[in-house]
Structure 1
Amino acid sequence: MHYHAGGAASLKKSHTSRLLLACLIGFIVVAGCAETPETPTPTPEVTPPAQTTYTHAGPQPSFSATVTAATKHFRSDMSCYWTVTGAVTNTGDAPGRNAVIRLMLIDDETDMIRSTETILIPRFGAGEKTIFTADALPGDCDREYRAEIVVTYDIP
């Protein structure tokens, strides 16, 4: 019987060894599957500029503008209007095409445009000066205003 008992113990060790070996192999196989995949590092992308401005390489127009007078007037119905005189000069070395001169009457307190007069000049030559008067720009009699001139144009 003693032989039989030793055989049973050796049989248990053999089964235990096989079971442990099978578990170890199973863990090794499963260990590769349980890993989280490596997250790829994002590569920076080149972002194009939001706006590309074309700069003409040759002569260009350049405008200076001044308001020479702004005067408040009363109508017979006691409403008010302003007359504004301004001067615009092309100080550049090329004509400006489709020059738009915008004269604005701006409320000093709110900084809002109260009224506007627009003048279009199809070709504004280099060195040319234009003096103009905007009559009857409406405004409120109890408000204070300033006049500003803005010039836009197409590149020749």
Structure 2
Amino acid sequence: MQETSSSGKGRMSLLLIACLIGAAAAAGCAEIPGEPEAPTPEETPPARVTYSPAGPQPSFSTTVTAPEKHFRADASCYWVVTGRVTNTGDAPGRNVVIRFMLVDNESGMIRSTETIVIPRFPAGETKIFTIDPFPGDCDWQYRVEIAVTHDIP
């Protein structure tokens, strides 16, 4: 009688092992073949977005004369330029920074700068600035560029 019970336990063990193997094999086949895998979200840095406040805004237009070369008594040179800046926007500019740049025509490098700060620049107003002296070399050719920045109203 023990023989039967021992053989019954062996069959149960084999059956249990067979079920475990079958369950493990079936677990790998749980997916439906041919269906695409769910896309995994890629980590991308957020785009840098600059928001402009709604409503009236200042806007600036500039013009500048060609640099004029002048000589000092010691035969050194300096340059004189006149620039015009207009707030063409519909709101005043706050903390307006106007930067005049004397730029070497050949290399494109900035030789000298002059900065003017205006706390409040009303809409529709034009301001004229003369930069005298603007240091530069006698033998070089220059142009002047103007950059205008301001605080957001």
Shorter-chain TM-score category?
0.7 to 0.9
Identity of aligned residues (%): 66
Offset, 1:155:
1.6
Residue 43 of structure 2 corresponds to 45
Conserved 8 A contact 2:66-2:143? no
Q: 1:44, CA displacement in angstroms?
A: 2.3
Q: Is the 8 A contact 1:105 1:116 kept in 2?
A: yes
Task: Report the counterpart of residue 12 of structure 2 in structure 1.
Answer: none
Structure 1's unaligned 5+ residue stretches are 1-24
Task: Say whether residues 1:87 and 2:84 are aligned partners.
Answer: yes
Report the alpha carbon displacement of residue 92 of structure 1 after superposing the two structures with TM: 0.3
Tell me the secondary structure at the aligned position of residue 109 of structure 1.
Answer: coil
What code does the residue aligned with 2:102 have?
Answer: L
> Structure 2: which 5+ runs fail to align?
1-17, 29-37
Please give the alpha-carbon distance, in whole angstroms, between the structure 2 residues aligned to 1:110 and 1:70. 17
1:66 aligned partner, one-letter code: T
Q: Which structure 2 residues correspond to residues 2-151 of structure 1 after superposition, within 5 A?
A: 42-45=40-43, 47-50=45-48, 52-151=49-148
TM-score by length of 2: 0.73
How many Å apart are 1:117 and its aligned residue? 0.5
State which structure, 1 or 2, has the greater radius of gyration over its C-alpha atoms. 1
Shift of 1:41: 6.7
Deviation (angstroms), 1:79: 1.1
Asked if 2 retains the 8 angstrom alpha-carbon contact of 1:69 and 1:86, the reply is: no
Displacement of 1:68 = 2.7
| Matching residue's letter, 2:105 | D
Which stretch of the first structure deviates more once superposed, 125-134 or 41-50?
Answer: 41-50
- 1:1-56, Cα deviation, whole Å (9 max, x unpaired): xxxxxxxxxxxxxxxxxxxxxxxx9xx79xx7xx9xxxx97432353113x21211
State the one-letter code of the partner of 2:43: E
Q: Using the alignment, how far apart are the partners of 1:136 and 1:85 within structure 2? A: 11
Q: What does residue 155 of structure 1 align with?
A: 152
1:142: Cα distance to partner? Answer: 0.7
